[in-house]
Chains A and B, each alone.
Chain A
Amino acid sequence: NAGVTQTPKFRVLKTGQSMTLLCAQDMNHEYMYWYRQDPGMGLRLIHYSVGEGTTAKGEVPDGYNVSRLKKQNFLLGLESAAPSQTSVYFCASKESVNTEAFFGQGTRLTVV
């Protein structure tokens, strides 16, 4: 089983460029999350979704947008990348509120 797949795995952007990170899960999970992880900061929640067509803001949503048009996909967009968005981004999905979260392998993004 593929589980949770993130694309791309690595990317270098110039300041001001835009990009979309794709998260796809094949487990029919309702809940999906986008986190960023920086040294010493742990995983911080950017946006999340409790079902197809829904999105909500997490701890650090500024500079990011998300969409959940299909249940299996959760897209994270950066409209105008900034060096402060250099980070490792993880997507996760869950079957229900109190169950295990499954993570993708992460996307390493560098903004120069």
Chain B
Amino acid sequence: RKEVEQDPGPFNVPEGATVAFNCTYSNSASQSFFWYRQDCRKEPKLLMSVYSSGNEDGRFTAQLNRASQYISLLIRDSKLSDSATYLCVVNYWDTGGFKTIFGAGTRLFVKA
């Protein structure tokens, strides 16, 4: 089982739609969580952190469910510019140090 798993998609949605992605993680001792956005042939960039109490930033909402070991990202009122790959990130301590593990990403296409 992969440490961090995401539905690869692609998700094809019209402008204005609401879309949600989930990401599951296997290490119950994971400490922190993030969502990153990656545009084609570019480096990943931070979209938002995921807090236990949930986190909202404009049209984007991130939530954490520790009991079921998953995080989610909700995008409301999708824009064409939201088309990208969304990566979830999980951080935890390991024997060698602190690891930052990325999911394989979920591709989103927003159509006019």
Task: Name A residues whose Cβ lies closer than 8 Å to a Cβ of B.
Answer: 31, 33, 35, 40-45, 48-50, 54, 56-59, 90, 92, 94, 97-98, 100-101, 103-106
Contact = CB atoms under 8 A, between A and B. Distances in A.
Given A100-B46, A103-B43, A105-B43, A42 B103 contact: yes
Contact of A101 (B31, B89, B103): B89
Given A40-B8, A57-B96, A58-B99, A97 B105 contact: no
Contacts of B99: 45, 48, 58
Contacts of B89: 101
B64 interface: no
B31 A106 contact: no
Contact of B104 (A40, A50, A97, A104): A40
Max chain A CB contacts within 10 Å: which of B49, B91, B96?
Answer: B96
B108 interface: no
Interface of B: 6, 8, 31-32, 34, 42-46, 49, 87, 89, 91, 93-94, 96-105
Max chain B CB contacts within 10 Å: which of A41, A42, A56, A105?
Answer: A42
B43 A45 contact: no
A27 B42 CA distance: 21
Contacts of A97: 31-32, 91, 93, 98
Given A42-B103, A42-B105, A98-B32, A90 B44 contact: yes
A27 to B, nearest CB: 14
B52 to A, nearest CB: 12
Nearest to B34: A100
Nearest to A58: B99
A92 B104 contact: no
A95 B102 CA distance: 18
13 contacts: A33-B100, A42-B6, A43-B102, A45-B101, A48-B99, A54-B97, A57-B96, A94-B100, A97-B32, A100-B46, A100-B49, A101-B44, A103-B45
